[in-house]
Amino acid sequence: MPEKEYYSPQEIAAKFNIKPRTVSAWIRQGKLKAIKLGDLWRVHITDLNDFIQKSQSNTNDIDK
């Protein structure tokens, strides 16, 4: 079965064991790109992967 293309903040939160409001805050702050469909926010898998990559890069920079 192919991977989903779009995820809700709740799905992302469950996947990474964080609170949905943390994901929503990242969206509001512009840190995580998302689209709004009516009242619902959705994050494309490529935007989620980009966010993860950037987060890992920032963590690696701190270690240097």
For the chain, domain boundaries: 6-63
Q: How far apart are CA 15 and CA 23, in angstroms?
A: 11
Specify the length of the chain in residues: 64
Q: What are phi and psi of 22, to 5 degrees?
A: -65, -45
CATH number of 6-63: 1.10.10
Per 3-state DSSP, what percentage of the chain is helix, strand, and coil (rounded to 5)?
A: 55, 15, 30
pLDDT per residue over 37-52, tens digit each?
A: 999 999 999 999 999 9
pLDDT per residue over 14-44, tens digit each?
A: 999 999 999 999 999 999 999 999 999 999 9
